[in-house]
Amino acid sequence: MDVAVDIGNTNLKTFTCLPQGNAIHRSWGIPFVTKNIGDFVLQHLFRLDMPTGRADLRMSAYSKPITWRIIQTGRLDWTILKAEILKIRPKDKFKQITHKQIPLEIDVDYPAKVGIDRLVAAFSAVHKYGESPKLVVDAGTAITIDVVQNGTFRGGAILPGLFMTSQVYPNISQRLPLVPIPLHPDTENATLPAFPGKNTENAILNGLYWGTVGAIRQFYDRMLSKMDGLSLILTGGDAAYLLRGLSTVFPLGQIEFCDTLVVEGLVKLPLSR
């Protein structure tokens, strides 16, 4: 059994491939995780809550060694997580995914400096949706917009995420309030801001939301003139929220949404590289 672990700036996500062929995706906020790593591993990470017909399957009771495939882009040190897991499951194996495991050419100035999450998302998009050119958007703490074509990662753009951008407004002017934005998972049912905004708060929300939608569309249009059959692949914590706005400016069927794109890609990577 393989378990993919994505340690980000905001969330820790896992994707577990079970022996029966099923899969489980879980997510926890990083501040919650770091309060007590040992308790988190025992009480939450090891509880898959997947009915097997007899009882819930728990990793602590799984007899064979588990392979943990891990990427880390946030501050939580993955080796601390590893140490706590080994206290309970000393035979488990661990693989920190690096650039060497990504079966893509990396056509940028400094390949080693590209975020590993961006590369895994690009690989996963190709593996899941085919070889046609893609714009891969991962909307999380930061929003990354990357181009992958002909098995090559060609770089892209990095924007601040919706939440991070919202924190800037009070620093621009004392008259601009800190406007709360919907956070995942509440974003799926949140009302989209109506333009034009009729008050300062709504005007800020318009700038945050529709400005981001417009930026993604702009990058797509710039590449569409160079790449036939370009598709948009959307993932990340704010992806479902942005999908609703993007669906109003993209033709039906041109956007693929996958909340588990990065962690799915982790379990599909060939580790022999």
Q: Which of 2, 92, 117, 138 is catalytic?
A: 117
* 3-state DSSP of 27-47: EEEHHHHHHCHHHHHHHHHCE
Rg (CA), the chain: 20
Separation CA 138–CA 159 (nearest Å): 10
Separation CA 57–CA 48 (nearest Å): 6
Which amino acid is located at 254 in the chain? Answer: Q
Would you tell me how many other CB atoms lie within 10 Å of the CB of residue 228? 8
* Tokens of residue 27, six digits: 């997510």
Active site residue 221: no
Q: Is 175 exposed, middle or buried (0-12, 13-18, 19+ CB in 10 A)?
A: exposed
- Side by side, the strands of the sheet bearing 105-106 are 105-106, 152-160, 142-149, 134-139, 231-235, 255-257
Find the length of the chain: 273
Residue whose C-alpha is closest to residue 93's, from 69, 71, 109? 69
Residues 6+ apart with CB under 8 A from 257: 234, 235, 239, 240, 243
Could you list the active site residues?
Answer: 117
